[in-house]
Amino acid sequence: MTHRPALPAALSLAALLLIPAALPLAAQNLPAPDAAPAAAPAPIQLNPRATLPITPEEKKNIDDLLRASGAINVGKVMARLFASQVTTTLKSSRPNLPPHVAGVVNEEIARAVSESIDAPDGLADMLAQLYHKYFTDEEIRQMTAFYNSPAGQKSVQVMPVLLPESQNLGRAWGAKLAPVVLQRVEARLKAEAAAGNAPGAAGNGTPQASAEQSAPSRRLEIAVAPRPVYPADSRASREEGTVRMKVQVNRSGQVQDVAVLISSGYPRLDAAAIQAVRGMSYKPFAGDQDTMSAEVNVAFKLGNQQPQQPRPAGKDQSREI
């Protein structure tokens, strides 16, 4: 089954709407430059009125905070990003998707988000209950005052730009770190296996070979590897990275399934890599097994006119299943 990029629904909407509570209070609680190391943080104090219903005045003050902080607007911006993710996933899984479907997806997500935020018992009301649980009315007023200050207004303007840039930095960092971690894990497991410390070597003192280790050592050979298409939107957004995938191949050399092992961090690049690998073919193989698998990398780099063709991920990456 093909791996599909996870969609950041919960993070993009609910979590970001809690940001207003973090900035001003964090600024108030910063230690002095020469302060001694702090002891363990005290338990979070709930609002003494947390068990009481929200009064109309308290509800109004929380609504003022959500408006002053731009939290609701951030939620709607992230809803548009969410719609883009859904559209990308649909196109990668259903290449013949009619063009108007993307428009329908965008419109319905935006409409549903707006209705859910503003409706009675919607997200705004749910957040009001949550803020009321942890913050007193006076603390809500203090946070609102911060967001009405010049520094607070600047944070409102910068946050929608800061968030996607931070996400891009995180993706790039993760894409760079993932191969390093994988190499270290593989090296350690090989070293443990050579030393007889691998799982299965313990027990009665007799080394036990796994099915994968005892399988005949054979490699799949690529016959045709079409060059991937670098998505125009990805070039414009300066997205780059490497996608590592596992492919399952039948006896005739046809690719039966593709799964992403390490994402590039960008759904568009992952989808383009999957499409290219699905167009690959391998040299037929003989033997008792009906299928074999291999790992391949597809690299997208902005310095190249075209993405690299899919290549084996490394030595001894093919195995029978």
> Is 263 found in the same domain as 117?
no
CATH number where 303 lies: 3.30.2420.10
Cβ–Cβ under 8 Å, residues 200 and 208: yes
**Residue that terminates a domain, selected from 101, 136, 171:** 171
On whether both 240 and 313 belong to a single domain, the answer is yes
Task: Note whether 222 and 316 are same-domain residues.
Answer: yes
Q: Which phi and psi angles does 121 have, rounded to 5°?
A: 65, 20
Q: Note the pLDDT of residue 311.
A: 61
Q: Do 122 and 242 have their domain in common?
A: no
Domain extent at residue 93: 9-25+43-171
Which residues of the chain, if any, have pLDDT below 50?
A: 1-19, 23, 25-31, 33, 198-217, 315-321
* pLDDT at residue 58, as a whole number: 94
Q: Is residue 203 part of a domain?
A: no
Whether residue 184 lies inside any domain: the answer is no
Report the C-alpha gap between 164 and 150 in whole angstroms. Answer: 23
- Hey, what's the torsion of the CAs at 112, 114, 117, 120, to 10 degrees? -80
**252 and 140 within one domain:** no
In a domain, 233, yes or no: yes
Same domain (yes/no): 223, 125: no
Of 147, 171, 195, which closes a domain? 171
Q: CA of 206: how far to CAs of 175, 192, 197, 210, 211, in Å?
A: 40, 15, 11, 13, 16
Task: Give yes or no: residues 135 and 232 share one domain.
Answer: no
Q: Are residues 157 and 229 in the same domain?
A: no
Looking at the structure, do residues 97 and 230 belong to the same domain, yes or no? no
**Whether 142 and 224 share a structural domain:** no
Average pLDDT in the chain: 74
The pTM score is 0.43
Backbone angles phi, psi at 48, to 5 degrees: -55, -25
Number of independent structural domains in the chain: 2
pLDDT at res. 208: 34
